[in-house]
Structure 1
Amino acid sequence: MSVGPAGPTGGAPGTVPQDPYAQLRTRAYLKLLVFAALIGVPVCAAAFGFLALIGWLEPAIYKDLPRSLGFAGTPAWWPLPMLAVAGALVGLTVRHLPGNGGHEPAEGLAVGGAPALAALPGIVLAALATLSFGAVLGPEAPLIALGGGLAVGAVRLLQRDVTAQTVAVVGAAGSFAAVSALLGSPLLGAFLLMEASGLGGAMLGVVLVPGLLAAGIGALIFTGLGSWTGLGTFALTLHHVPPAAQPTIPEFGWALVIGVLAAFVGTGVRRLALVLKEPVARHRVPATVAMGLVVGALAMVFTEVTGEPATEVLYSGQSALGTLFSGTAGYSVGVLLLLVLCKGLAYSVSLSSFRGGPIFPALFLGAAGGVALSHLPGLSVTAAFAMGMGAMCVAMLKLPMTSVLMATLLLGHHGLTVMPLVIVAVVVSYVVAFRIGGPTGAVAQPAVQPSAQPPVQPGPTQPGPTQPGPSG
């Protein structure tokens, strides 16, 4: 299970192999597939445990702890000290533990370059503090780092000298398995990692097949653990989706409007995060505590003005998507607009200082904005919900195919009905966001160069270079 510097047809190093699919017929590739299938089991078990721990900590911090201290419920000011504690934990972790706590989420979704095992404790600790205490980021980036790091660590324990290409493919398979379990679909995970890592060309299938296998095996483990423990799967799902009618001409017009609005909102969120990131980096611990207080204050303001719980503003928004959709009649336009404002600012502040992923808050912001617009004539709530999610996702990530799939697959068969509208909104948002904000989005750090070396080749093992730093 190793990769050499030349292609299977004997080409010179750095040249394109004559038959890139020759790898599929080699014994080394079969060994790689077996390893990918095996690594999917512990990786998804670790991902399940990580998400289960977050699921236990969230209510423990925001419900059980205040009651144990004698409060009848959760005080409106409670997020302030909790987010300050989170800021201190994240700041200290980033400053003192290896791995920088994972990648900077303000720079996009980093894929590629699995972190070393020594960096994983810091990445996990920073993510737990971020997600459990209510900062507005998602779990996908830590899961990508955790899956890739565990997979690469396992292959290095089993085989002392491995090539850089083997490390890249195995790391991608581990990341693939972990994030696919969260997204609820190996195919959706495939598109996410394919677009974010910059893979392409003839080698795309050869590199992605081990990841698909690891994700498929891991999904079984993920589902089995959810059933056995009674905790559920923690996958991204929506229930009770209102029926979607066939797209209308006015809704195509709304797709243009939603695409433009999402591009400007997403660009504003990202620019503010990048502006704040520099002073946070210079004063890591006190600045992260200050950013936590800002997130807590935004949640408190929303609660005081609307009477809705602070958790609507806090957290990634993954679990709140279903509530937002099913409870649209209970939200006035004013409440939805204030929610978008407070959540968007909290999202931007969290991107600048905490550690986590950018996907789920973007989905929630787009969904809330879409639901607010659905109160206007000519726009159904299901179409608005889907278009908002896709347009905001692509504005933040610059991954158009992933954004379309994520916004439509979540809606089940209703998503197929509104997919043409989602495509228009995503394309408009993608183009406008590039024009006004530049290409910053997913951070592609491809460890595999598909136009050069093949990922697997039989033969003597070549020692690989030192593993690069983490990217969460």
Structure 2
Amino acid sequence: MSNEAVEAPPPAAQPTVSARTLLPLVLPALAVGVGCSLLFLAVSEAAEKLQELVWTELPDALGVDGYGAPWMILLLTLTGVLVGLVVWKAPGHAGPDPATLGLGGEEPLPPYVLPGLVVVTALMLAGGPSLGPENPIIATNVALAFWLGRKVLPRAPGALWVSLASAATLGALFGTPVAAALVVSEALAGKPLPIRGSLWDNLFGPLLAAAAGALTTTLVASPSFDLGLPPFGRPGWSDLLAAVVVSCAGAVLGMVAVFAFPYVRGAFARLRHPLLTLPLGGLVLGLLGALGGHLTLFKGLHEVGELAADPEGWSAGQFAGMTVVKLVALLVAASCGFRGGRIFPAVFIGAAFGLCAHALVPGVNVSVGVAAGVLGVLLAITRQGWVSLFTAAVLVASPAILALLCIASLPAWLLVTGRPQMQLSQDGTPLR
């Protein structure tokens, strides 16, 4: 027997994909991207018109304060009643229990569920509950793309339409395809790639759909996530320490809501009927709005812009109060049955928390505080690492902040990974 060591076989070469394989994806990706963006914009526009009507025009006509406590309590409760009626009577009950759903990737919903889901999403966005549009809009676009795509191109795999629609909607929501690319690459990690090629081969279609969705949104609505915070220059050691401490504290704060989620959801579930759970949830949200003020209502993206426009305009106690009220409002809205996502309200929570840190310790740079607070809270609430890092970074619009956030994300991730998520299985236990 030879004493020579047996040489290991050379690693298999990465399979290559020709342009001929990818080119057929171009037209479907563009069509899905534009269509997903237009639906998102249509729902958003309808919700904004309704919000203007019920929060400004109607109270002005009645001679009452639209953001006074009585009107907030009445309107949030009425929103719960209307959403409860749709969930009760609409075909498909406006989709599955939102407490069991994540950001995307679930089985496409049947088409007959979608009208009810769109209606309750618009009512929720206009009525003031602390949820964003991302989850129901992604679910609606995925279902429509899957249904139409299978009719137009029956030989194409169903998973293609799911990935294109998910990426396109994320591109439309954030106004850039970068977030979609990060989410899709994270979803593909550790799984067999749909296309036998590189990761970029598999990102080609979703990234094109996301770019089309983002460009359509930008041309029509010109969205911006930049909060206009003071410029952040060269980072120092104190900035790194602040970013680590604030992000870790934000992650702990977010985990408080995560741990409470199954218990609050279980309490609402005991009522068993949407015309009980949703109006009660709306009443609680109205009381919270009266306590925290009108800035703690709605999805929070416009409201966080008001906070960031005047970082010195509130005391540390006021920032802390808004942080806690918004966190409880997100917990209640996600538990009682309102259809909506958690990214945008989590951004408000993290930003208010970061501004509180700046107010308590003026040496904490306001941009670092806001970005690190958003990073920590999002990591806990969404458990989406790339989305959390990307969202926190774009709020400040300073390349120098990115290195701090990358470092700060590591200890914050250690605090949340492997722990319960803010998503329940069908038996009511939290996913891990």
> Structure 1: how far apart are the matches of 2:377 and 2:342?
11
* Candidates 333, 338, 344, aligned match of 2:316: 333
* Candidates 83, 89, 96, aligned match of 1:90: 83
Residue 222 (structure 1) aligns with: 217
Residue 178 (structure 2) aligns with: 187
Residue 66 (structure 1) aligns with: 59
Residue 430 (structure 2) aligns with: none
Residue 132 (structure 2) aligns with: 138
> Structure 1: how far apart are the matches of 2:190 and 2:45?
31
How has the CA–CA distance of structure 1 residues 200 and 325 changed in structure 2, closer, same or farther, with 3 Å as cutoff? farther
Residue 367 (structure 2) aligns with: 382
How has the CA–CA distance of structure 1 residues 21 and 358 changed in structure 2, closer, same or farther, with 3 Å as cutoff? farther
Q: Deviations over 1:408-446 (max 9, x none)?
A: 12322x1x21222222332222211236xx1425799xx
Q: Does the 8 A contact of 1:24 with 1:206 survive in 2? A: no
Q: Does the 8 A contact of 2:247 with 2:374 survive in 1? A: no
Q: Does the 8 A contact of 2:103 with 2:134 survive in 1? A: no
How has the CA–CA distance of structure 1 residues 347 and 196 changed in structure 2, closer, same or farther, with 3 Å as cutoff? farther
> Structure 2: how far apart are the matches of 1:73 and 1:291?
20
Aligned residues: 405
- Following TM superposition, by how much is the alpha carbon of 1:30 offset from its aligned partner in structure 2, in angstroms? 2.9
* Candidates 263, 267, 282, aligned match of 1:292: 282
- Following TM superposition, by how much is the alpha carbon of 1:269 offset from its aligned partner in structure 2, in angstroms? 1.2
Residue 255 (structure 2) aligns with: 267
How has the CA–CA distance of structure 1 residues 261 and 192 changed in structure 2, closer, same or farther, with 3 Å as cutoff? same
Q: Does the 8 A contact of 2:354 with 2:370 survive in 1? A: yes
How has the CA–CA distance of structure 1 residues 198 and 94 changed in structure 2, closer, same or farther, with 3 Å as cutoff? farther
* Candidates 173, 192, 197, aligned match of 2:164: 173
Decide which moves more: 115-124 or 101-110.
101-110
| Partner AA of 2:144 in structure 1 | L
- Following TM superposition, by how much is the alpha carbon of 1:384 offset from its aligned partner in structure 2, in angstroms? 0.6
Residue 242 (structure 2) aligns with: 254
> Structure 1: how far apart are the matches of 2:97 and 2:413?
22
Q: Deviations over 1:28-48 (max 9, x none)?
A: x43333211122222211111
Q: Does the 8 A contact of 1:373 with 1:379 survive in 2? A: yes
Q: Does the 8 A contact of 1:138 with 1:360 survive in 2? A: yes
How has the CA–CA distance of structure 1 residues 94 and 137 changed in structure 2, closer, same or farther, with 3 Å as cutoff? same
> Structure 1: how far apart are the matches of 2:265 and 2:122?
20
Residue 372 (structure 1) aligns with: 356
- Following TM superposition, by how much is the alpha carbon of 1:82 offset from its aligned partner in structure 2, in angstroms? 1.3
Structure 1: give runs of 5+ residues left out of the alignment. 1-16, 227-231, 304-309, 445-472
Q: Does the 8 A contact of 1:369 with 1:388 survive in 2? A: yes
> Structure 2: how far apart are the matches of 1:214 and 1:129?
28
Q: Deviations over 1:124-155 (max 9, x none)?
A: 12211221100000111122112212211221
TM-score, normalised to structure 2, is: 0.86
- Following TM superposition, by how much is the alpha carbon of 1:338 offset from its aligned partner in structure 2, in angstroms? 0.7
Residue 229 (structure 1) aligns with: none
Q: Deviations over 1:200-242 (max 9, x none)?
A: 5654434332121122223333233x2xxxxx34x35224231
- Following TM superposition, by how much is the alpha carbon of 1:365 offset from its aligned partner in structure 2, in angstroms? 0.4
Q: Does the 8 A contact of 2:176 with 2:215 survive in 1? A: no
- Following TM superposition, by how much is the alpha carbon of 1:266 offset from its aligned partner in structure 2, in angstroms? 0.9
Decide which moves more: 417-426 or 41-50.
417-426
* Candidates 218, 230, 243, aligned match of 1:242: 230
> Structure 1: how far apart are the matches of 2:18 and 2:67?
58
SS at match of 1:329: coil
RMSD: 2.5
> Structure 2: how far apart are the matches of 1:443 and 1:207?
30
Decide which moves more: 333-342 or 268-277.
268-277
How has the CA–CA distance of structure 1 residues 205 and 104 changed in structure 2, closer, same or farther, with 3 Å as cutoff? farther
Structure 2: give runs of 5+ residues left out of the alignment. 1-11, 426-432
| Partner AA of 1:30 in structure 2 | L
> Structure 2: how far apart are the matches of 1:36 and 1:254?
42
How has the CA–CA distance of structure 1 residues 88 and 21 changed in structure 2, closer, same or farther, with 3 Å as cutoff? farther
Residue 407 (structure 2) aligns with: 424
Alignment map for 1:406-421 (pairs within 5 Å): 406-412=391-397, 414=398, 416-421=399-404
Q: Does the 8 A contact of 2:258 with 2:380 survive in 1? A: no
SS at match of 1:330: coil
> Structure 1: how far apart are the matches of 2:120 and 2:214?
25
Q: Deviations over 1:309-333 (max 9, x none)?
A: x2x1111111122221111111111
Residue 363 (structure 1) aligns with: 347
Residue 101 (structure 1) aligns with: 94
Residue 34 (structure 2) aligns with: 41
Q: Deviations over 1:277-311 (max 9, x none)?
A: 224332332021111100100111224xxxxxx2x
> Structure 2: how far apart are the matches of 1:106 and 1:196?
20
Q: Does the 8 A contact of 1:195 with 1:402 survive in 2? A: no
Alignment map for 1:153-168 (pairs within 5 Å): 153-159=147-153, 161-162=154-155, 166-168=157-159
Q: Deviations over 1:362-405 (max 9, x none)?
A: 11101110011012043100111111111111111111222111
- Following TM superposition, by how much is the alpha carbon of 1:199 offset from its aligned partner in structure 2, in angstroms? 7.0
Say whether residues 1:313 and 2:296 are aligned partners. yes
Q: Does the 8 A contact of 2:243 with 2:372 survive in 1? A: yes
Q: Does the 8 A contact of 1:111 with 1:193 survive in 2? A: no
| Partner AA of 1:440 in structure 2 | Q
Q: Does the 8 A contact of 1:400 with 1:427 survive in 2? A: no
> Structure 1: how far apart are the matches of 2:305 and 2:65?
27
Residue 6 (structure 2) aligns with: none
How has the CA–CA distance of structure 1 residues 208 and 441 changed in structure 2, closer, same or farther, with 3 Å as cutoff? farther
Q: Does the 8 A contact of 1:63 with 1:73 survive in 2? A: yes
Alignment map for 1:21-40 (pairs within 5 Å): 21-22=16-17, 24-26=19-21, 29-40=22-33
How has the CA–CA distance of structure 1 residues 361 and 96 changed in structure 2, closer, same or farther, with 3 Å as cutoff? same
> Structure 2: how far apart are the matches of 1:349 and 1:236?
28
- Following TM superposition, by how much is the alpha carbon of 1:169 offset from its aligned partner in structure 2, in angstroms? 1.2
Q: Does the 8 A contact of 1:176 with 1:193 survive in 2? A: yes
Decide which moves more: 94-103 or 314-323.
94-103
> Structure 2: how far apart are the matches of 1:391 and 1:403?
8
Q: Does the 8 A contact of 1:196 with 1:443 survive in 2? A: no
> Structure 2: how far apart are the matches of 1:103 and 1:24?
40
